[in-house]
Amino acid sequence: MSRAEAGSEEVRPALGEVYKAAGHAHILGLTGVPGSGKSTMVSKLVQAVRKDGRKVGVIAIDPSSPFSGGAILGDRIRMSTHTMDDGVYIRSMATRGSTGGLARSALAAVDILDAAGFDLVIIETVGVGQDEVEIARASHTTVVVSAPGLGDDVQAIKAGILEIADIHVVSKCDRPDSNRTITDLKTMLAMGINVSIKNNEDKPLWQVPVVGTSSESGEGIDQLLATIDRHRDAHRTTALGTERLRRIAEYRTFKTAEDLLRSRFFVSTSDRVSALVDRISRRELDPFAASDELMSDLALYR
C-alpha cells in the first residue's frame, strides 16, 4: 500500500494482478462535512461488522487541512480499540502532498484489502473537494453523513453531496436537535431529489432511506449496517449494480490515465519548461502555443 501510494512504477504489474484478484468485497463510501461524526461512526460500524464475523478494512482519507487538522490523531485514538484484531485493518491516507494520485492510490489500497479477503472495505472521505467526493462515489454503496448542530441548512446540499447518497445518515442522535436535522433531510428528499430508483414495473428498486445513529449510545448502528447490506443485496444481481460497476471502472481508468499523463508530461518536459516560461511571461509566447510545443514530442507511450 505504501508503494502504491508513492506511485512507484515497479508495483504496477503487481497491482494489476491484485486488481484482477479483487472484486469480492463490498465497498462502502462514507462521506459528510467535516465534524459530522464520520470517524466515530466508522469505528462503531467496524465493531458491528466484527460481531457477525466479517473482516473489515478502512481507508480513511485525511484532509490534513487547517479546519480538521487534528483528524489523524483523533482517528487513531478513536480507532485504536481495533488495532489488536486481525479482522480489522485501518489506514489513513493524507491528501496534503498527494500529487493528484489520491483516487488511484486510495482505490489501489481498497483492491489490496479486497484481494486479501476483507468482506467489507470502507472508504471514509470528507465531503469537500471534488476528488474526495468522487472517491466516495467509487463504491458499491455511498453513505452521506449529516449531523445536528453544524448550522441551520442541510449541510449535504451545501456540500453538493445530497444526490450521491444511497443512504443518508443523521449522526449524533443523542442530541435533542437531531430530530430537526432528520426532518429537514426528509423534507429535502421528499421534494424529489433522488428519492428512489425505479425498475421496469415502476416499483422502487431502492428508496434512499434516512437512518439516525448515535455513536455515543450505539443507537441505529446495527440498523445502518442492515441497511447497507440490504443495499448491497438489492444491487448485486441487477442491471443497476452492473451499471454502477461500469461507472466505477470508467472513473478509475480515466483517473489512472490522467495520473500517468501528468507524471509523464512533467518528466519529459521538465528541462524545457523554464525557458518557455520566460518567454510566456514576456508575452512573446502564449500558454496554448507553449503547451502545444511541450506536448508535441511528449512520449505518451513508453
- Residue 36 contact among Mg ion, ligand GTP, none, beta carbon within 5 to 8 Å by kind: ligand GTP
- Considering only 126, 133, 135, 136, the residue that binds ligand GTP (CB under 6 A) is 126
Distance CA 277, CA 138 (A): 37
**Residue 143 backbone dihedrals phi, psi, to 5 degrees:** -110, 130
By beta-carbon proximity to ligand GTP, the closer residue of 175 and 264 is 175
Q: Is 174 in the site for ligand GTP (CB under 6 A)?
A: yes
- Residue 181 contact among Mg ion, ligand GTP, none, beta carbon within 5 to 8 Å by kind: none
Distance CA 33, CA 128 (A): 7
- Residue 210 contact among ligand GTP, Mg ion, none, beta carbon within 5 to 8 Å by kind: none
Q: What are the strands, taking DSSP E only, across 137-254?
A: 141-146, 167-170, 196-198, 204-207, 210-212
- Site size for ligand GTP (CB under 6 A): 19
Q: Is 36 in the site for ligand GTP (CB under 6 A)?
A: yes
Distances (CA, A) of 176 to 34, 172, 196: 20, 9, 29
By beta-carbon proximity to ligand GTP, the closer residue of 142 and 214 is 214
Half-sphere exposure in the Cβ direction for 256 (13 Å, CA) = 16
Distance CA 214, CA 134 (A): 26
- Residue 35 contact among ligand GTP, Mg ion, none, beta carbon within 5 to 8 Å by kind: ligand GTP
By beta-carbon proximity to Mg ion, the closer residue of 172 and 244 is 172
Residues forming contacts to ligand GTP in the complex (CB under 6 A) are 32, 34-40, 68, 71, 74, 126, 171-172, 174-175, 214-216
